[in-house]
Amino acid sequence: MLSLLLKPWIATCRETGDHLSDYLDGDLGARTRLRIMRHLARCEHCRALLESLMRTLEQLRSLGTIEQTSPAPATVRAIVDRIERDER
């Protein structure tokens, strides 16, 4: 029931998974981005997913196959840490 009430405010795991790469690219609207940030602050599973995606992007970047458009992993990490602190 609680999760139903929170739904407009917090993205689901599925939604977060679907939007993770857009989230990293900064391609999301403010509202969706916030919902995903709130979800990431609560969901260990999706944070792990985000981290593995960041590692993948970092590896790709070190191979020189993509441009430096995504935030540096350390920056994203700092953002997630900050969200976690704010939410508690």
Residues that bind Zn ion (CB under 5 A): 13, 43, 45-46
**Residue with Cβ nearer Zn ion (69 or 81):** 81
Provide, rounded to whole angstroms, the least separation between the CB of residue 40 and Zn ion.
8
In the complex, the smallest distance separating the C-beta of residue 7 from Zn ion, rounded to whole angstroms, is 13
CA-only gyration radius of the chain, Å: 13
Work out how close the CB of 69 gets to Zn ion at its nearest, in angstroms, rounded to a whole number.
25
Q: Where are the alpha helices (DSSP H) in 1-88?
A: 2-6, 13-25, 30-42, 44-62, 73-87
Rounded to whole angstroms, the Cα distance separating 62 from 30 reads: 29
Shorter beta-carbon distance to Zn ion: residue 51 or 61: 51
